[in-house]
A = this chain, B = another copy of it.
Amino acid sequence: MDGLDERKVKILDAIIRTYLETGGPVGSRTISKYTDLNLSSATIRNEMSDLEDLGYLITPHTSAGRIPSDKGYRFYVDHLLESKDKEISDMKDFVIEHTEKMEQVLKQVARMLAKTTNYATMISSPKYSGNKVKFIQLSLLDANQLLAVIVMEANVVKNKIIPLRQRLDNEALFKLNLLLNSTLNGLSIPEINLGIISRMKEQAGEYSDIVGVVLDAVAESISQEELEIYTSGATNIFKYPELSDSRKASELIYTLEEKQQLKTLVSDSLNSESETGIQVYIGNESPIQTMKDCSVVTATYELSEGVKGTVGIIGPKRMDYERVMDSLKELKTQLDGIFRKPSG
């Protein structure tokens, strides 16, 4: 494959694994001792030179060892990484209590993941593209304000306070509630089309304004605008010298703090479905410029039909892909379990 014979593959594998551990350039002598096939450092040198010509390795300066190139990492991730059935990770020990707010759960997941992996993490709130309206309730707060509560299928609750321009008596309120629920319940957002909207507004008569606001709120609760992203463990990057210089660290942490750019990562990862739902971005493969010295591993989780979110791990290129990918797989299944419980 790709001009690599078996021995070259073995050597490349050894080099990358060693580099993942040490973080420093790895020399020929190290490998000559490391591998089972007993070869002298000189032979290794020749092979390493070849591997460099083929683009898998890089010489940072004339007389250091070699470090993997992006292509090298890519090869490692694609071919060399066997997902061994590890003992089930200690993640279960982190009892994620039944918190009533999804926001809390997400924050906690991000924090836990950062703690166990020692990398920076992010998690997006699920996007309810196919989610259905379950329940809508309007209530009068006082003479001038109306409170709308919208509950979606996955028990996601949204509140909206609507200023009232006209008087609204209890009877009208009751009718409006009936209208909203009977029409919208069980519908997903794409199903609420213009026909339905105009018919509802017609039936609502003088209160069509209110219907409009409620519908906007429903739409909002699924729109990309509302995509919340939580991050944690940003300071973990200081554990890796290659990311700790103040320029890089500042840029990276800023990206994690501002979160705006992370949204592109989320949509990218949601769109490019791999079979496993796990995506690896090495260096420049990431859509985010400031992460060109990092690797990002993302996983897609799915609460229920079409309700998806992304969880990601950001670390140095020499991150422990094996462990990270295992953790994410484990987390995927756990997340399913958590959210199936009745919770908001």
Contacts and interface: CB of A to CB of B under 8 A. Distances in A.
Contacts of A141: 134-135, 151, 155
A254 interface: yes
A344 interface: yes
A242 interface: no
Nearest to A252: B235
A161 interface: yes
B157 A147 contact: yes
A46 B10 CA distance: 72
B253 A161 contact: no
A133 to B, nearest CB: 12
Contacts of A257: 232-235
Interface residues of A, number: 34
Contacts of A170: none
A89 interface: no
A139 interface: yes
A344 B155 CA distance: 20
A160 B98 CA distance: 13
Given A134-B141, A249-B246, A253-B235, A159 B149 contact: yes
Given A234-B253, A254-B235, A135 B147 contact: yes
Interface in A143-198: 144-145, 147, 149, 151, 155, 157, 159-161, 163
Interface of A: 100, 134-135, 137, 139, 141-142, 144-145, 147, 149, 151, 155, 157, 159-161, 163, 232-235, 238, 244, 246, 249-251, 253-254, 257, 342-344
